Amino acid sequence: MEMLPGTLDFLVLRGLTWGPKHGYAVARWIEDESGGSLTVLDGALYTALHRMEERGWIAAEWGVSPLGRRAKFYRLTPVGKRQLQNEAKGWADYVAAVGNVLRTSTQPG
């Protein structure tokens, strides 16, 4: 399933809610939590991570992955937590509005 524009940043921020993760772990979390419906391509993920780091939403530091490999770990910043709250509200409002349209029992016109 293709993601709507703007979705990836929100999902990455949400994935970092439980603590620092390296990029591959963030991508796997999104795929797992979506039941395999959403796949994150490496190029899109690392572009998003870089953009969010520039905006101050996330911070990164080098560490060692569970497999013993050097990896960059990302964590939410206070600014990122606020951004996540704002985006969560926006998504909840959007989902509610689409749900209302889907539940409409009248025909147009």
Enumerate residues 6+ apart whose C-beta is below 8 A from 79: 55, 56, 57
Residue 108 lies in a domain: no
Q: Residue 87: in which H helix or E strand, if any?
A: helix 78-103
Residue 81 lies in a domain: yes
Please give the tally of structural domains in the chain.
1
pLDDT digits (tens, 9 = 90+) for 58-101: 999 999 988 899 999 999 999 999 999 999 999 999 899 999 99
Residue 21 lies in a domain: yes
pLDDT digits (tens, 9 = 90+) for 26-45: 999 999 999 999 999 989 99
Residue 109 lies in a domain: no
From the list 21, 83, 20, the residue with the least C-alpha distance to 51 is: 83
Residue 22 lies in a domain: yes
Residue 47 lies in a domain: yes
CA angle at 32 for the pair 103 and 21, rounded to the nearest 5°: 120
Query: Residue 42 belongs to what domain range?
Result: 7-103
Contact 57, 83 (CB under 8 A): yes
Residue 1 lies in a domain: no
Q: Which residues pair with 58 in a beta bridge?
A: 76
Q: What's the CATH code of the domain at 66?
A: 1.10.10.10
